[in-house]
């Protein structure tokens, strides 16, 4: 099945007479059972839940993983789980521009003496490969949050394999529709399912996909012990969101490409970062690596200071000034309002998450704000 069918057809109950077409929300904390425990037994709801299983099956089909995904309470819970695979005293190689929560978490663990963080410019393949010497895990984001840089994912994964380093790709921005890191040899993929996967800004959830059943088993045992699990209703909402993933991504990407072009030509805009623009430094790599489009996030640096950028946000009517991305509604945010966003991200950079509204309404709203900025 093609991916736009998988999102609709995957994770459904068997085609039996009178079966519901949707998986039920299974609200239970425990399962009936007697006698010797079998590893396949459901046993207790911290270990598994049928509603998660439906979600985990679809995600595995989308990422072309050999075994089901693992659901977590949030993207950061999924990231936490993966980072525990770095041994105590080990080394994590981390892009300087990654989701700021991943960076903050890794640094917290470094401060506690658990592992060492080596920060890299992930677009610099040679320097990143050199930083892998003696490391235990390579963290990849591509496109990066919020700079939208594109890493050479196949080359980095190859370099990591040669040096016996595990690779994990945070595939939240690209979604499994545009990029399937396991296919180029990555060991792990994480998602903030809160974003495109669930798609409606109404639920937090995360997921991990593993290249081998052994890795999955390790993480599953750990998840069962640590308990960073989602509720069944959250998993059901995320699965319901997956049903429209392909049409949402297609629509928002087409709008993002158009808005990026128009933004680039506006006199109040100093710089636009969007891998779909021919002028973008990541364009060639993105064209080679991302299948079917360039994503729906745009970063814009307007002329003027921070106050001007903030004023632009308050002038908007269709766009919502809020953090997060990947929902049906368009969001815009000045990223450096987060104190832990690195100083290499321009202070007035605005990250736009393009939703599925009409492109002209989105443009007119932005253009009015930018015109006002240009006139000041
Ligand atoms: C790329 C990326 N990864 C992970 C996360 C964390 O996900 P969550 O908010 O679901 O914990 C985010 C959140 O913004 C993100 O943008």
Domain range list for the chain: 3-242, 245-375
Quick one: pLDDT at residue 133?
A: 98
Structure-block tokens of residue 88: 């105590």
Q: Has residue 244 got a pLDDT over 90? A: yes
Residue 204 CB less than 6 A away from ligand 1 = yes
Residue 171 CB less than 6 A away from ligand 1 = no
Structure-block tokens of residue 99: 């989701």
> Which residue out of 136, 170, 187, 365 is catalytically annotated?
170
Structure-block tokens of residue 188: 């792990």
> What separation in Å is there between the alpha carbon of 75 and the centre of ligand 1?
5
Angle at the Cα of 74 from the Cα atoms of 244 and 9, rounded to 5 degrees: 25
As a CATH number, domain 3-242 is: 3.40.640.10
Quick one: pLDDT at residue 105?
A: 97
Residue 147 CB less than 6 A away from ligand 1 = no
Q: Has residue 40 got a pLDDT over 90? A: no
> What separation in Å is there between the alpha carbon of 222 and the centre of ligand 1?
21
Helix (H) or strand (E) holding 366, with range, is helix 359-375
- pLDDT confidence of 276, banded at 50, 70, 90? very high
Share of the chain above pLDDT 70, in %: 100
Q: Has residue 284 got a pLDDT over 80? A: yes
- pLDDT confidence of 27, banded at 50, 70, 90? very high
| 163: annotated active-site residue | no
Quick one: pLDDT at residue 173?
A: 98
Quick one: pLDDT at residue 327?
A: 98
Q: Tell me which residue of 262, 268, 278 sits closest to 302, measured CA to CA.
A: 268
> What separation in Å is there between the alpha carbon of 99 and the centre of ligand 1?
7
- The answer to whether the 3-242 and 245-375 domains have the same CATH topology is no
Q: How far apart are CA 49 and CA 99, in angstroms?
A: 29
> What separation in Å is there between the alpha carbon of 289 and the centre of ligand 1?
22
Burial-class residue 101 by CB neighbours within 10 Å (0-12, 13-18, 19+): middle
Contact indicator for 320, 331 with CB cutoff of 8 Å:
yes
Phi, psi of 13 (to 5 degrees): -60, 160
Q: How far apart are CA 262 and CA 201, in angstroms?
A: 26
Question: Which atom of ligand 1 lies at the shortest distance from residue 205's CA?
Answer: 10
To test ligand 1's pocket by mutation, which of 73, 75, 139 has the most ligand atoms within 8 angstroms of CB? 75
CATH number 3.40.50.720 is the correct assignment for the domain at 245-375: no
| Mean pLDDT computed over every residue of the chain | 97
Question: Which atom of ligand 1 lies at the shortest distance from residue 98's CA?
Answer: 1
Residue 192 CB less than 6 A away from ligand 1 = yes
Q: Has residue 376 got a pLDDT over 80? A: no
Q: Has residue 168 got a pLDDT over 90? A: yes
Structure-block tokens of residue 295: 């994503």
Contact indicator for 211, 188 with CB cutoff of 8 Å:
yes
pLDDT (tens digit per residue) in 116-128: 999 999 999 999 9
Within 8 A by CB and 6+ apart from 194, the residues are: 74, 75, 203, 204, 205, 206, 324, 326
Average confidence (pLDDT) over 236-262: 98
Q: Whose CA is nearest to atom 14 of ligand 1?
A: 324
Average confidence (pLDDT) over 350-362: 98
Q: How far apart are CA 82 and CA 97, in angstroms?
A: 19
Q: How far apart are CA 7 and CA 62, in angstroms?
A: 8
| 3: annotated active-site residue | no
pLDDT (tens digit per residue) in 89-124: 999 999 999 999 999 999 999 999 999 999 999 999
b/e map 343-365, b = 16+ CB within 10 Å: eebbebbbbbbbbbbebeebbeb
Quick one: pLDDT at residue 319?
A: 98
Quick one: pLDDT at residue 374?
A: 81
């Amino acid at each position: 099945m093609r991916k736009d069918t998988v999102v609709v057809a995957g994770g459904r109950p068997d085609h039996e007479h009178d079966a519901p077409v949707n998986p039920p929300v299974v609200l239970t904390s425990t399962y009936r059972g007697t006698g010797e425990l079998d590893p396949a037994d459901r046993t207790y709801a911290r270990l598994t839940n049928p509603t998660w299983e439906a979600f985990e099956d679809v995600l595995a089909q989308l990422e072309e993983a050999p075994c089901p995904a693992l659901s977590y309470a949030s993207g950061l819970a999924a990231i936490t789980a993966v980072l525990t695979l770095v041994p105590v005293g080990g080394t994590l190689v981390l892009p300087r521009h990654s989701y700021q929560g991943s960076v903050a978490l890794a640094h917290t663990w470094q401060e506690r003496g658990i592992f060492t963080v080596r920060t890299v410019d992930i677009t610099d393949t040679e320097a990143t490969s050199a930083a892998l010497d003696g490391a235990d895990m390579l963290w990849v984001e591509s496109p990066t949050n919020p700079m939208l840089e594109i890493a050479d994912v196949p080359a980095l994964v190859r370099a990591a394999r040669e040096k016996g380093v595990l690779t994990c790709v945070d595939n939240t921005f690209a979604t499994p529709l545009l990029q399937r890191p396991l296919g180029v040899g990555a060991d792990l993929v994480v998602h903030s399912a809160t974003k495109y996967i669930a798609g409606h800004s109404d639920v937090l959830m995360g997921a991990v996909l593993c290249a081998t059943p052994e890795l999955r088993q390790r993480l599953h045992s750990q998840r069962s012990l640590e308990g960073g699990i989602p509720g069944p209703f959250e998993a059901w909402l995320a699965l319901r969101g997956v049903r429209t993933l392909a049409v949402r991504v297609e629509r928002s990407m087409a709008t993002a490409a158009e808005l990026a072009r128009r933004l680039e030509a506006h006199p109040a805009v100093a710089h636009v970062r969007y891998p779909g623009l021919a002028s973008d430094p990541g364009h060639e790599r993105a064209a080679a690596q991302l299948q079917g489009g360039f994503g729906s996030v745009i970063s814009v640096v307007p002329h003027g200071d921070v106050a001007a950028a903030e004023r632009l946000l308050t002038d908007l009517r269709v766009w919502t000034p809020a953090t997060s991305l990947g929902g049906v509604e368009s969001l815009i945010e000045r990223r450096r309002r987060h104190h832990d966003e690195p100083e290499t991200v321009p202070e007035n950079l605005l990250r736009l998450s393009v939703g599925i509204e009409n492109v002209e309404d989105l443009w007119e709203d932005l253009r009015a704000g930018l015109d006002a900025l240009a006139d000041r």
